[in-house]
Chain A
Amino acid sequence: EVQLVESGGGLVQPGGSLRLSCAASGFTFSDNFMDWVRQAPGKGLEWVGRSRNKAKSYTTQYAASVNGRFTVSRDESKNSLYLQMNSLKTDDTAVYYCVRAGLQGGLYIMDVWGQGTTVTVSS
């Protein structure tokens, strides 16, 4: 069974840092793209960033709102995805989801979501 389990959320002050983790199982982690998507309280979904697969050298892509502050990385030996968040702002308060983007129809498409971890940025 494909499973994604996020951890690392919590309360942090504005300007602070936090690292989220996502443990993946049930599929070949290195073959798939992986995304972080967030959802602010009562709001819709916002894509945060992507790690491409091993064949694409795990290159990354980011939303403009987090570019330069957030970093997506992987540890292949641990089948884990990470989101390092620096210079956090109150607007970053959200549930953060780890999402697999599997190969479907020749493209990598979001298909399996973790349960999410909550980040609250507040003084």
Chain B
Amino acid sequence: DIQMTQSPSSLSASVGDRVIITCRASQDIDNNLVWFHQQPGRAPKSLMFAASSLQSGVPSRFTGSGSGTDFTLTISSLQPEDFGTYYCHQYKTYPLTFGGGTKVEIK
């Protein structure tokens, strides 16, 4: 199985800060990576697919990059609605797997 490792596991940042979350795959997944955002008590929402393609309706302050085993999600200017947990997910091979999550708190 492909293991997905996210870092950090949690962070606290202020509104307007630049935030970077990383995701590492245990083997090459090309660019077959999605980023999801989940607010407490709600279903996850897709932000990015193919590592760097923004889902329709997602603000442009979110950018994704990477290929192979190392990926990043950057929020250029953190907004209050960005709190919650971010998950990366690989769809290169079965079983489909997720990272453990990065919890973002607003200072």
Contact = CB atoms under 8 A, between A and B. Distances in A.
Interface SS of chain A: helix, strand, loop or mixed?
Answer: strand
How many A residues are at the interface, by size bracket?
20 to 34
B55 to A, nearest CB: 7
A61 B97 CA distance: 13
A57 to B, nearest CB: 17
A45 B96 CA distance: 11
Nearest to B95: A63
Contact of B50 (A46, A61, A105, A113): A105
Interface SS of chain B: helix, strand, loop or mixed?
Answer: loop
A104 B98 contact: no
Contact of B96 (A47, A104, A105, A114): A47
Interface residues of B, number: 23
A73 B98 CA distance: 23
Interface string B42-79: 11111001100101000000000000000000000000
A113 B45 contact: yes
Interface of B: 32, 34, 36, 42-46, 49-50, 53, 55, 87, 89, 91, 94-101
12 contacts: A44-B100, A45-B36, A47-B98, A50-B96, A61-B95, A64-B95, A109-B46, A109-B49, A109-B91, A111-B55, A113-B45, A116-B43
